[in-house]
Structure formats: C-alpha cells, structure tokens
Amino acid sequence: MSGFPGHEVITALVSGRYADPFSILGMHLTSEGLEIRALLPDASAVTLIESKTGRKITELNCEDDRGFFSVLLSRRKKPFRYQFAVTWHEHTYIIEDPYRFGPLLQDIDSWLLAEGTHLRPYERLGAHPDVLDGVEGMRFAVWAPNAQRVSVVGQFNFWDGRRHPMRQRRENGIWELFLPAVTIGQLYKYEIIDCNGETRLKADPYAFEAQMRPETASVTRGIPAIADGDPARNAANGRHQPISIYEVHLGSWRRHVENNYWLSYGELAQQLVDYVKYMGFTHLELLPINEHPFDGSWGYQPLGIYAPTRRFGTPEDFRLFIDAAHQAGINVLLDWVPGHFPGDEFGLAKFDGTSLYEYADPREGLHQDWNTLIYNYGRNEVRNYLAGNALFWLERYGIDGLRVDAVASMIYRDYSRPAGQWVPNHYGGNENLEAIAFLRYTNHTVGTQRDGAITVAEESTSFSGVTAPPDSGGLGFHYKWNMGWMNDTLRYMQLDPVHRKYHHHQMTFSMVYAYSENFVLPLSHDEVVHGKQSILNRMPGDVWQKFANLRAYYGFMWGHPGKKLLFMGNEFAQWKEWNHDVSLDWHLLDDTDSMHSGVQRLVRDLNQCYRQHSPLYDLDYRYDGFEWLVADDAENSVFAFLRRDSHGNEMIVVSNFTPVPRLGYRIGIPTPGRWREVLNTDSQYYNGSNMGNSGELHSEQVPSHHREHSLLLTVPPLATIFLAREA
C-alpha cells in the first residue's frame, strides 16, 4: 500500500512521540487512491461517513490494536468532507477528524509573530472558538519551538496526549490544531515532550481564563469584545487634569464578615465603586488581577497574564466591574508586571525544555530578591507576548491605563546584584538595552493604538527620560511615581517635631527635580507592609498628634505638584499594617465622631477641593504653576507655596509641622486681594483644634519675603491650610 506508515512510525504515533501527525493522519492522495488514517485509542470500530450525504462509505481497518485505523478508497481520487462513526465501549459517536483541516496560521501572522511586531498576538495564539469548513470547534496555537511533540489535552480527550498531537509550523516554532466540538468553558493544557524527551504539562500562556487556584488548568473562552473608548475618560488621564488614585487590593479591601471570604467582582462593582465615587477619587488602581498561583504575592507574580483571576468571578464579571467604574465616572488603572514571573512547573519556566521565555543565564534570568524568573526581552516572541498583553487589557477590557511594576529591576542588569553576579550589556554597561527597547516599543504601541490610555512607571532611580517620548530617547511613560518625594517626606514626618527643623530640606528638595518627569505622588501598598507600620503609626506624638500630623501631611501632599495616589486604608488612617488575608478595619469608622472618620472626611474634602480648584493640578508640570512663598523657615517648620493655573487663578498652601500655633504669621504674596480659606486640616470637622482664619483674609501692603504685599495668618498647629484668591 503506497505511503503506508511502517510499524515504527505507528509505534511513535501511538506512544505520543511523533512530531508530524498530519503527515500520517487524515486523508491523503496516493497513487492508489484516497487513503484515510486515524488514531483512535480504545476504539473497537470506525466507519467512514461522507459529510455531505451522511452516507456510510466503508469500515476502516484496524491496522494496530493500539488504535490505528486506515482504509484505502482506490476508486476515489478527489478529496471530500468526511466524518467518523466511532464505537467506544459499545457506544457509537459521530465525530469530525481534526486531521482533515489545513494549516491555521496565515503567512502574514506567522511573519509578524516571528518578527515580534504582531500588535495583537492573542488573536492568533491561545485557544479561540472558530468555524472551519462549516464545523464549530476550537483552534489552539502555542509557541514551543524546541519541543519534540505538543498535544492539546483536556476534558474533551481524557487528558490523553496521544489523541490530539498538534501540527508544527517549523518556520516559527508554533504548534497548531483545530479541535471540532470543543466548546467554551472546558479545561485544557498543552502536553509537551520537550527537547530532552521529558513530558511537561503546561497551562496556555495566552489563556483568557484559568482555573481557581490551586488548580492550574486553562479554560477555553472567547476573546472579550473590544471595549469602546470614551473622550471624557481619555481627557481624565491628561496632565492638565486632576488625578487622584485609590490603590486597591481586591482580595482584602473588604471581605464577607461571616466567613472572611472575598467579595465577588459583582459585589465590588457595587460596594467598591460606590465608595470610590463617594470619596471623590478620580481613578481606581488595582493591584495585579492577572491570574497568579500564590495569594501572598498580591498578584505581583503572575502566570496567566491574559486571564483575570478567578478568585472573584469570571472574565465577564470582571468586565462588568470595569464597566460599573466607568459608568460612575471613574477611570481604572491596572498594575501590570512585565518584569518577572514565578517558576511554577505548569507555567512558562523551561516551557519546551529550554529557557524559552526567560534568560538562560541565572545572572540575567533570576531575580534573587523574589526568586522569580526574568523575561528575555531580546527575544521577539517574548516581547510580542508582553507588549500584546498591555494592549489586550486596554482594548479588550477598557482599562484606562497601566502602572508598570518594578521598572528599575528591568532596565538595570545589576539591579540588586553584587559585583560578579551580573552580565554587562555588549557595550560593557549595566543597562538592559533589550528591556529598554521593549518598554519603548510597548509605550509606543499603547500610544498609537489606544487613544487616551496611559502608562505609569514605578521607577525608583534617577534614570533620565522615563516620561519623555521614545523618539526623544525616553522610555515613553506618561507618568512616573515620585519615590524620592515619598521617601523624603515620610522620613521627615516620622521625626519628632522638635527635630524637624534640622531636616527642613526633605520637604523642599522634591521641587529641585519636580519638572524633570511627570510625577505621581504615591503613598502606596509598599509603605504599609513588612514591618514599616501603617502611615498613621509612623507619625510621632500622642494619639491626637499622630492624627494631626497625618492630616497635615495629606494636606501638604494634595497641595504639592504631582498627581496623587493613596493606598486603601490610608484614607481613614488604619492603625495596623495592611494584611492581604483579611479585610481593612472598617469598624474604625463605626463611630462617625472618631479620629478615623475625621481623616476619612478630610481625604474626601481634599479630593473635592483638588477637583474644584484648577490651580492645584492644571500646571503640575510647568514651572509657572508653582512658586515658593516660604521655603526657608526651618526654625518654625513652616512651608508656604503658591499654585497657579493657566488662567491666572491662584491657591496658597501653608503647612505648620510643629504643635505650636503660628499666630500673626506673615507671608509675602505676589498678588494682592481677598483670600478665602477653603480647607483647613485642623478643622473641628476633622477632629482638629479648630484654629483658623475665620474663612476670609485680605492682603496688606506690607512688604514681606521680598514682596510688596502680604497676608497675616493664623497657622494652626500640625496643620495645612488652603487659601484661594477671590476674583
């Protein structure tokens, strides 16, 4: 029989170790006619059926009792559509043959994927519902260039790697297969015989849904529909807009009291969204919701970066949660982690037996701090996997921006590594040129493909041009966390007020470099864990002074140039450090007259004041939007500065970081007129001592601070006041 496979080939096929199943299985035109071959383990009988007529043509011969069947149709020369009627354990099923379908990946997609420039690789790789030749099913594709064999395994084939080996596209290392009758919601993985002959069971890197941990299978799921953009949301991300971000870990913001179980996406869509709107925040930032195996990583060690975590519901539920935030006028940012991934066996590590996604050299590919693996940014397919993921969340879920985690660890090869334990770049330097190119490419892609979307860098060094455009040599982020401001000001605030005059510069130094980048001022989750204590507990003094210090600090923060970010719990001054395993201490707000309720009211009013007064945000990133009025009064620990918008409106911010009231404190001002006290952190409403300026002040033509006009103020103890110039 012409072209009939030998016993060795059948043995390799049956044992799941034949790399080219399409050369054997399916329909083949031979010199003697059409030959149809099938591998159907445990089948007792197989009948060939013509799909068009439903007519039974002939029985297939069992050539090997391990499940290899074939038949030669010597009188037929023209290929036709067919099905099998297969008898398993006395039950007969009509099935389509996966090996009668041609290649799936188009040439242009193959080229772009190999080149690393496919904007949406998730549309071609992974599992996708499809209809081929009138047959419904699921097409699968996975990149594993060094594997000896790859099979799709799942609920639909008894997790048996022999049944559905995939076609290898040798030009790009992608394996593909269309499986008829596989539907949405079924579990699957890839069974890979790697380059060393070892069998590995891997989750799909491009899966849109995953099992609830600790289970690790992928779940077949249709790709989410493209989310419409919105001009108002786009505008709300702009540099000239008020941006006040509430940073949230969904698993511990609030939990069910009766069993400490998580809220669902649906419950969060009501409770969290309503709360964020009530508090006046403009943006909601989520700690990573990509699927991750370990709760204690807070999502920062993701393995299913295309799948919203199943902890809180389905992908559809997550989409509705995002929609609810948008309907409430809240933009949503997502923490995104392209810097590293855990080495769990079911994930990306040694995917095909080689260091496929990670650098092979542990001096490049292992994060010693976190015991995680580092992506190989120089590999086209890895760059495509990550950059495509950034666009995926923006396009398919309507996420308004990404906060990129641990950028410094990506762009420096010697990050947290002693001498001799890192590999220089080819110029001999310590910069990871591949990672820098990847970030520029990703930010450029986001900027050109998703109007109004932003990226925010958590970058803790003085790397130049983080928020400069890529074509100007920058990394291309829209904003950067100001870690220097956070560290300096927190160190200052932790000091006893009697010592603060010796560290005055820590509150003013940030203005030296304030316009080098587009900054966000962050008081993030990192500041309330690992023994650092809560923000409140880092304040000095007795209970009243702790709260007063905190209120004054928040006032200074909201007045200072830069967008704002506050981690959950900080807005009502939680005593304890954040614990990801339990809810925030909402009981602290049961008493509406408590100090905690006072801080919550202050943060709400700060947000409202911030949004209502454009001098506090309009010119955040221009020199003419800020002017020091009092920068050198270290003895009294008083700071005063003026904020200005593009229309000439002005706001004065004055802070007193001692418990001594400053009565009759004169400050020079550039513009005379009437000024109104629009916010005072010492107000009785916030549980302060209620000292202030009786609502209104008038300037005097009395020189002070090198200016011809001045204001005579009462500056309350441990407080910040905002004064708006009246027209």
| 3: confidence class by pLDDT, cuts 50, 70, 90 | low
Clarify whether 458 is annotated catalytic.
Answer: yes
What's the gap between Cα 226 and its chain centre? 18
Instruction: Give me the amino acid identity at 375.
Output: Y
Domains of the chain from N-terminus onward: 7-100 (2.60.40.10), 107-219 (2.60.40.10)
Whether the per-residue pLDDT at 8 is higher than 90: the answer is no
The two three-digit tokens of residue 353, written as one number: 């037996």
Percent of the chain topping pLDDT 90: 91
pLDDT exceeds cutoff 50 at 1 = no
Distance CA 24, CA 5 (A): 7
Which residue in 194, 247, 458, 618 is the catalytic one? 458
User: Taking residues 65-72, what's their average pLDDT?
Assistant: 92
Q: Token pair of 31, please?
A: 């010199």
DSSP-derived secondary structure letter, 476: -
pLDDT digits (tens, 9 = 90+) for 422-456: 999 999 999 999 999 999 999 999 999 999 999 99
Hey, how many other C-beta atoms are within 10 angstroms of the C-beta on 669? 25
Q: Can you tell me which residue has the tokens 């010119």?
A: 619
Q: State the pairing for strand pair 366-367/372-373.
A: antiparallel
Whole-angstrom Cα distance, residue 30 to residue 40? 22
Q: Which residues of 475-496 are buried (b: 16+ CB within 10 A; e: fewer)?
A: bbbbbbbbbbbbebbbebbbbe
Mean pLDDT of 40-68: 92
State mean pLDDT over 267-274: 98
How does pLDDT run across 520-534, given as a tens digit for each residue?
A: 999 999 999 999 999
Contacts with 328 (C-beta within 8 Å, 6 or more apart), sequence order = 273, 274, 276, 277
Return the sign of the alpha-carbon dihedral for residues 667, 671, 672, 674: negative
The answer to whether 59 is a known catalytic residue is no
At residue 69, the 3 state secondary structure works out as: strand
Report the number of secondary-structure helices (H) and strands (E) in the chain. Answer: 13, 36
Q: Write down the mean pLDDT value for the chain.
A: 95
Give the span between the Cα atoms of 227 and 246, in whole angstroms.
23
Sign, CA dihedral 687-689-692-695, equals positive
Provide the pLDDT for residue 2: 47
The whole-angstrom separation of Cα 124 and Cα 467 is 32
| pLDDT (mean) for 179-202 | 96
Q: What is the DSSP string of 185-240?
A: T-EEEEEEE-TTS-EEEE--TT-S-BPPTT---EE--PPPPPPPP-HHHHHHTSTT
Give 283's DSSP letter. E
519 pLDDT higher than 80: yes
Q: Which of 106, 171, 184 is nearest to 143 (CA)?
A: 171
Overall pTM > 0.85: yes
Catalytic one of 405, 459, 527, 605:
405
